Structure 1
Amino acid sequence: MCPGLPSGRPDDSPPHPTDQGEDVVAYTMNGRLRGRTARVADGRVQVYMFLGVPYARPPLGGLRFHAPLPHEPWTGVRNATQHGAHCAQDIPQDRRFYHSIPLFMPHARISEDCLFLDVYTPTMDTTARLAVLFFIHGGGLFSGSGAQYDGRALAAMGNIVVVIINYRLGILGFSGIGGQWNVGFLDQIIALRWVQQNIHVFGGDPGQVTVAGQSAGGNSVGLLVLSPLTDGLFHRAISQSGAASTIPTQPNTDHTENIFFLLSRLCTRPSPSETLECLNLGLRNLSAEDFVNAWGWRHQPAVDGFFLPDQPTTLLKNGSAKNIEYLMGVTNHEMGHVIALDWHFIGEKDRDQIRSIIAAGYRDYFQCMNGQTDVYIDVSKFISDPLLDLYKMEQDPLMQVIGDMMFTVPTVNTAWYRTDTPVYLYEFQHRPSWHHSRPAHVKADHGDELLFVFGAPFFDWPRNPADPAWRVNFTEEERVLSRKILTYWTNFVKTGDPNRGDTEPTSTFDLEAWPRYSRENQEYLQLDLDISTAHRLKEEKVKLINDMLACSNSSVSSSGLDRTVMTLCVLMLCFYYGLL
């Protein structure tokens, strides 16, 4: 049995403060919404907030597992001053996990009626035509919520409209039980359509939409860029610690076996007749909690020929991605503490130990193609000594190599294949000052850039003030770093260039120039208290990991590569939930 999660009380933090300011009413295509005003940056800047706005019909009853449908109009004025319910997930488990980032769950309500979004805007002038940031939360496609993110500072200080969404998670979003795959991604698409139809009401420009996300949200962005269903719905993209191939994609094969596996777990009843009745009802009578409790990692993107026509790596190599500007990057220690938590005991420095652990995870999942025959192989021989030599002197070398495999390599590969259009690459390197419990060698961990991107130093980031463990305080140097990062991001949202805003010159904030990524120089920006430019992010590690994932010099099926990474994901999640 692996060690459990770090001790720590559940999140009792209050909801994001929405009871301040005056009421404001917006007139959307579906009906009127009542929002509130608030102020950030020591009260100097006002922002309008509309929370818990429905963007699609509740996926209940016969609509469970169904592609989302547009929301029906309502009469009267709908209250939009509180966050909507989180999509179905294990909230107590999530709260312990997000304690480490910190991204607080402001309430504990889960429901299948969860297709809501939040809008933050600095103006209600319908002619303002401000650029729009559409943000997708992370959480491995099985946890997280838009309510964890507060867009006030980003909207007010960046002078953009910020939209943050929920989408169906886990089995309800990605199992294909109802015959429709990728419904969680289809939720994201219908939310983007809502933006196209309504964002002008909030001062936004439907012709200036940037889709952005972190972790599984960054993976979502990568897939939305590749999908033929999203043409015209957005115009730029930002992926933070996630790319199209970060979460493995099921190949375009018969998924009957996987679906049967899920059904058999969900429809276990005292008698065969009751089990058959459950199956015949299409699982409609099960509760959201039943799906959350039915553990099974069969919720992941799938090549369905509709949302996703082929494997992401194939689409990237074939140039199927949209001709848009892309800003993307990673932290320099993605598997430092947040995901790995306290199971650093497996960070052995002995190369044979590392090789055996990785090989055990690969076994039965990694396939090399030998002519027309799938051959299962001993993967350990492809985990080369030169690769292990690069990591053996580091703390937790196994975590380092897995982190690079899951996040760094897919991100660098995506940048490499997209150099025909503007790409801006970064590595976030700053260890936040409030992290005292993580290992000393960990600098920037998974998610550490989020509070800086969202401008948390400039308003009261949600927390429980009665518990010092939840306090998030920023140094003056971190406030400067957050202001610079917020400016880079909003410049990109406005112009497609992080160096150039629409009205304010770069020199106003003394921003270091961010070079465009190219195959020749492979320049990227190191985001730390002292920002600098560097070349060829982890070049040797990226090359050797790519060689390994390519099955040495063999011809590898896309499904084989993705299954390899999937195995590592499963291992991590098993450790996280104490299942191994």
Structure 2
Amino acid sequence: MEGGIVLYNGLNEKIVSEDTFQEHLEYTMGTYNTNLVQITHAAKFEYLTDAAATPRDLQMDFMRMYGDWLFVAPTTRMAREFANAGNPTYLYNFDHVTSFFDHPWIGGAAHAEENYYLWPSDVTDMMTDEERLLGLLMRRMWSNFAKTGNPNSQELPVTWPRYDQHSRQYLTLSTSMGPGSVQAHLRSKQVFFWNYLVSALARVCCACAGPVSVGAGMSASMWTAAGILTGWTLAAGVGMVL
């Protein structure tokens, strides 16, 4: 999980309640100069699954939020822009927890964990045979792309589809790669939330009517924000998401 990077500075350990979840949302998203309160309330509503959850559950919610905000949504937006400009674009999701890494608190692969597979080093000897094979396949894909602009070749177990605005397909990298590893719309609801809803909230002028509790819904004091929130709910409900 990309959001596991928050563990490096000890931030995650400070999230032990709904209030501290909100405090760290505001601290983390301080880069938004407009509608910070509105944006953090929207993020809390989207990611906080249970206000009475255990600290561990709250921390997992925060890591998911942090990873989507800082990595998944921007990467997907960049892939879309590159593809729309006519550039050969390939999107991937690394989804393998390395056998000798002990980070169960992250709930998945750590940020930049794929680099151990792309750049052989001393840790390569600690990998399983399946992991070394994954590294070999990944290096072959990266080399193919560097040489030809296309990562595919006949000896690979799967065809990595080119990313485009319509299919939005990506490849999940794991030790069990095959045709089923090709998927579409990476975390689409969350990507829509950050790339469209939050971007819109950052541009409109409105004030929050008050604190938002989990399950209570969103409130906004001006029709502009209310319209954005309503539009996001409808779009997410019918699948019109990135």
**TM norm structure 1:** 0.31
Match of 2:90 in 1: 424
Q: Assess if the C-alpha contact under 8 Å between 1:521 and 1:535 holds in 2.
A: yes
Aligned AA (1:539):
S
Equivalent residue runs for 1:171-570 within 5 Å: 333-336=1-4, 340-341=7-8, 343=10, 344-348=12-16, 350=18, 352-363=19-30, 365-368=31-34, 378-379=37-38, 380-383=40-43, 385-389=45-49, 396-419=60-83, 420-436=86-102, 438-454=103-119, 456=120, 461-462=121-122, 473-499=126-152, 506-508=153-155, 510-531=156-177, 532-552=181-201, 554-555=203-204
Identity %: 24
Equivalent residue runs for 1:116-155 within 5 Å: none
Summarize the Cα distance change of 1:342–1:421 in structure 2 as closer, same or farther, 3 Å threshold.
closer
Summarize the Cα distance change of 1:553–1:496 in structure 2 as closer, same or farther, 3 Å threshold.
same
Equivalent residue runs for 1:41-52 within 5 Å: none
Per the TM alignment, residue 441 of structure 1 is displaced from its structure 2 partner at its CA by 4.8
What are the Cα deviations for residues 158-180 of structure 1, in whole angstroms up to 9, with x where unaligned? xxxxxxxxxxxxxxxxxxxxxxx
Q: Assess if the C-alpha contact under 8 Å between 1:429 and 1:527 holds in 2.
A: yes
Instruction: State how many pairs are aligned.
Output: 194
Per the TM alignment, residue 493 of structure 1 is displaced from its structure 2 partner at its CA by 0.8
Q: Assess if the C-alpha contact under 8 Å between 2:69 and 2:194 holds in 1.
A: yes
Q: Assess if the C-alpha contact under 8 Å between 2:15 and 2:24 holds in 1.
A: no
Q: Assess if the C-alpha contact under 8 Å between 1:348 and 1:397 holds in 2.
A: no
Per the TM alignment, residue 412 of structure 1 is displaced from its structure 2 partner at its CA by 0.3
Q: Which secondary structure does the structure 2 equivalent of 1:340 belong to?
A: helix
Aligned AA (2:66):
I
Match of 1:194 in 2: none
Summarize the Cα distance change of 1:487–1:361 in structure 2 as closer, same or farther, 3 Å threshold.
closer
Aligned AA (1:540):
K
Cα distance in 2 between the residues matched to 1:347 and 1:494: 46
Q: Which has the higher contact order (CA 8 A, sep 6+)?
A: 2
Cα distance in 2 between the residues matched to 1:480 and 1:493: 20
Per the TM alignment, residue 387 of structure 1 is displaced from its structure 2 partner at its CA by 4.1
Equivalent residue runs for 1:566-577 within 5 Å: none
Larger radius of gyration: 1
Q: Assess if the C-alpha contact under 8 Å between 1:347 and 1:397 holds in 2.
A: no
Per the TM alignment, residue 394 of structure 1 is displaced from its structure 2 partner at its CA by 7.3
Cα distance in 2 between the residues matched to 1:543 and 1:423: 20
What are the Cα deviations for residues 83-129 of structure 1, in whole angstroms up to 9, with x where unaligned? xxxxxxxxxxxxxxxxxxxxxxxxxxxxxxxxxxxxxxxxxxxxxxx
Summarize the Cα distance change of 1:512–1:356 in structure 2 as closer, same or farther, 3 Å threshold.
same
Summarize the Cα distance change of 1:472–1:339 in structure 2 as closer, same or farther, 3 Å threshold.
farther
What are the Cα deviations for residues 324-351 of structure 1, in whole angstroms up to 9, with x where unaligned? xxxxxxxxx1132x5523733234463x
Match of 2:229 in 1: none
Cα distance in 2 between the residues matched to 1:377 and 1:431: 35
Aligned AA (1:526):
T
Higher helix share: 2
Match of 2:220 in 1: none
What are the Cα deviations for residues 414-449 of structure 1, in whole angstroms up to 9, with x where unaligned? 01112232210000011111112x225532111211
What are the Cα deviations for residues 460-488 of structure 1, in whole angstroms up to 9, with x where unaligned? x347xxxxxxx950111111111110111
Cα distance in 2 between the residues matched to 1:382 and 1:444: 27
Aligned AA (1:404):
D
Q: Assess if the C-alpha contact under 8 Å between 1:349 and 1:396 holds in 2.
A: no
Summarize the Cα distance change of 1:360–1:475 in structure 2 as closer, same or farther, 3 Å threshold.
closer
Equivalent residue runs for 1:66-145 within 5 Å: none
Cα distance in 2 between the residues matched to 1:448 and 1:430: 9
Per the TM alignment, residue 530 of structure 1 is displaced from its structure 2 partner at its CA by 1.3
Per the TM alignment, residue 377 of structure 1 is displaced from its structure 2 partner at its CA by 5.2
Q: Assess if the C-alpha contact under 8 Å between 1:425 and 1:525 holds in 2.
A: yes
Summarize the Cα distance change of 1:478–1:462 in structure 2 as closer, same or farther, 3 Å threshold.
closer
Cα distance in 1 between the residues matched to 2:59 and 2:29: 23
Q: Assess if the C-alpha contact under 8 Å between 2:32 and 2:202 holds in 1.
A: no
Cα distance in 2 between the residues matched to 1:334 and 1:453: 17
Cα distance in 1 between the residues matched to 2:116 and 2:99: 12
Aligned AA (2:145):
F
Per the TM alignment, residue 381 of structure 1 is displaced from its structure 2 partner at its CA by 3.6
Cα distance in 2 between the residues matched to 1:377 and 1:553: 8
Summarize the Cα distance change of 1:440–1:402 in structure 2 as closer, same or farther, 3 Å threshold.
closer
Higher strand share: 1
The runs of 5 or more residues in structure 1 that have no matched partner are: 1-332, 369-375, 464-470, 500-505, 557-580
Q: Assess if the C-alpha contact under 8 Å between 1:339 and 1:446 holds in 2.
A: no
The runs of 5 or more residues in structure 2 that have no matched partner are: 206-242
What are the Cα deviations for residues 181-233 of structure 1, in whole angstroms up to 9, with x where unaligned? xxxxxxxxxxxxxxxxxxxxxxxxxxxxxxxxxxxxxxxxxxxxxxxxxxxxx
Q: Assess if the C-alpha contact under 8 Å between 1:547 and 1:553 holds in 2.
A: no
